Every structure is written in C-alpha cells, then in structure tokens.
Amino acid sequence: MQWNHSTRRTGIVRVTAGCLAVLATLVVLANAAPKSTLAKKPNFAKKLAKDRRAQMTDVFYTQDVRSFSQIVTVTLNGWPVADVVGGQDAGLINYAVIDGANHLAATIAAPPGGKKTDLVGTAMVLIQKDDATVFALKWKADATPPQPLPIHKELTFESGTHFGPRVWQSAPQITLDAATKQAIRAQVHRFRDTLDAKDLDGMVRMFAVRDREDALSHGEAPQQNAIAAREDYQEMLSRPHWRMEPVHDDHLQFHLIADKRVVLVDYGPDNGVLETVPDPSGDVNGFHLYLSLVNGQWTIVR
C-alpha cells in the first residue's frame, strides 16, 4: 500500500485488519492538520473499514513527514516514499523495505522560488519501526544556531528478515532509450485494454506480482491475498459505469527509481495513466504503474 505522493490517486488501498491500530494514529494526525495541508485521500478511512485482510506482520515501518512550506523529500532504497511541499504525508512504508541493509535519505530544502523571509515554521521527517524511532530529521526557522537550507541526512539500517526477496531486486537495470520507452508504451496500452474489457482473469494476472509484493509487505499468506484481491477486482469490474480513459502517448513520462530497476510511468506529478472515466458521482479509480522487467516482460511490481 502507498499513502504517499500526496495527491496521486490509487484505485486500491488495501490494508490488512491488523494494521488499523497503527494507522488510526496517523489518520488522527492528518485530521488534526489544516485542511489545506491534507493529502487528497477522501475515501481512505472508508477503504480501511471495508478491508478484509488479516495475519499482518508484527513489523510496521511508518513515516510522518511534515512541511510548512519547505520541500521535503524522502527515499528508501531508491523508492520515493515522500515528496511534500506544505503539508503532511503519513503512512506505512513497508513496501519499500527490504530484508537486510536499507538505505534511507531525506532532504529539507527551501520552497520553490522562496526567499529568506519565506523560511518560517517547521519541517520534519520521522521514520519509525513500530514505536521505535529509526530516523529523524527536523528543521526549525527559529533554531539556534540557525539551520541553513538545504539540510540532508542519510542512514543505513538493518530490517531483519521479515519481507522476503522483492521481485524488483533481481530485475535488470533499465536504460530508458527509445526502444525501451516504446516497449513500455505498448505494455501500458495492453494494461489499459485489459481493464477496459473488464477481463477479470487478465486483471488478476496483470496485478499478480504486485499482489505478491503487497502480501510480503503486510505479512499475509500469498494465497489468501490472491483470493481477496480477485474478489476486489471482480467487484470493481462489475460496476456498470466502468470504463477506462485512453492512454495519451505524447504525455507519458518515465522515471527511474530503485537502483534503476523500476520505472514509474505517469503524466507528471499527481497524474496517473491508468484511470477510469468518472462515474456519475465523479469517483475515479486509478492505478500506479511501477514497472520492472521480469522474465522479459514489463510487469507491475507496485
């Protein structure tokens, strides 16, 4: 699951029941923030309440990233887990944790086009494993001595063996040349057509690797996760107004992450590629496209 990248929409926010207590605190924190700073996740609590999963791992890595107006970015093993400018980003980041050594980096920088007079308030990054602090970085405008921006901090920590090997870890590094981009475009169209055709079996196959990674992140039995995921997809595709937006090739953007083993495909910040046409109530389902080259196929890994 990802509750990050502030406004980027995701069609399925699937969190197991054992995680509700951990996330309850984070939701309270978000609800206490000014409305203008909140991530645009209006149905988050509703989705949590409907979730049916159990058997969570007892290991929770969470983040709490806050900014008054500063740019705060956080990467974990090359995954961009937070990018905040004036607001708060809080949630589970198990998806980016690997067994063994994990590399974490955070930067707090001045706001875009900011002047010294704009540097007010506080910015912070807090990463925790359960209730224990793994990483902390804080900037205060009135600190003594003053803290010039940007500030940067890196840390390597050991996670133990909770998550098993990630598919993307053994994928080849990607070179974004013209041929690679064209192959990715073609696969994105196939993904879109599968969803638009309401092909349930195709959708299950399309997200099978991602769902396995999700199970690893949350300590679930892969079989149980796969059964529950299929039920979710069947419910989605049964909606009478389900249709997919077209793919706009000219607007596709490609971003290498995770040691160049994963490519994020989007239309730019906060603009996903695979999205449904709004239903009569205006609701939209969207799916992240984090792709790795797995067994020669461009595969959704998150």
Q: Which long-range contacts (CB under 8 A, 24 or more apart) does 23-29 make?
A: 23/48, 23/91, 23/92, 26/62, 26/64, 26/90, 26/91, 29/64, 29/88, 29/90
CATH architecture of 167-300: Roll (3.10)
What is the sign, positive or negative, of the torsion defined by CA atoms of 105, 109, 111, 112? negative
Residue with tokens 């495909």: 265
| pLDDT above 50: residue 267 | yes
> pLDDT digit string (tens) for 17-67?
334 344 444 433 333 333 223 233 334 333 433 443 434 457 899 999 999
Q: What percent of the chain has a predicted confidence (pLDDT) above 90?
A: 69
Alpha carbon 299 to its chain centroid, in Å, reads: 16
As beta bridge partners, residue 156 has 103
Write down the mean pLDDT value for the chain.
83
Is pLDDT at 212 greater than 80 in this prediction?
A: yes
Check whether 245 has a pLDDT greater than 60: yes
Numbered ranges of CATH 3.10.450 in the chain: 167-300
pTM: 0.79
User: HSE of 215 in the Cβ direction (CA atoms, 13 Å)?
Assistant: 17
Residue 275 clears pLDDT 50, i.e. is over it = yes
pLDDT tens digits, one per residue of 88-147: 999 999 999 999 999 999 999 998 776 554 568 999 999 999 999 999 999 999 999 989
As a whole number of angstroms, the distance between CA 248 and CA 298 comes to 19
Cα separation of 178 and 71, whole Å?
Answer: 32
- Determine which helix (DSSP H) or strand (DSSP E) holds 222, and give its type and residue range: helix 222-237
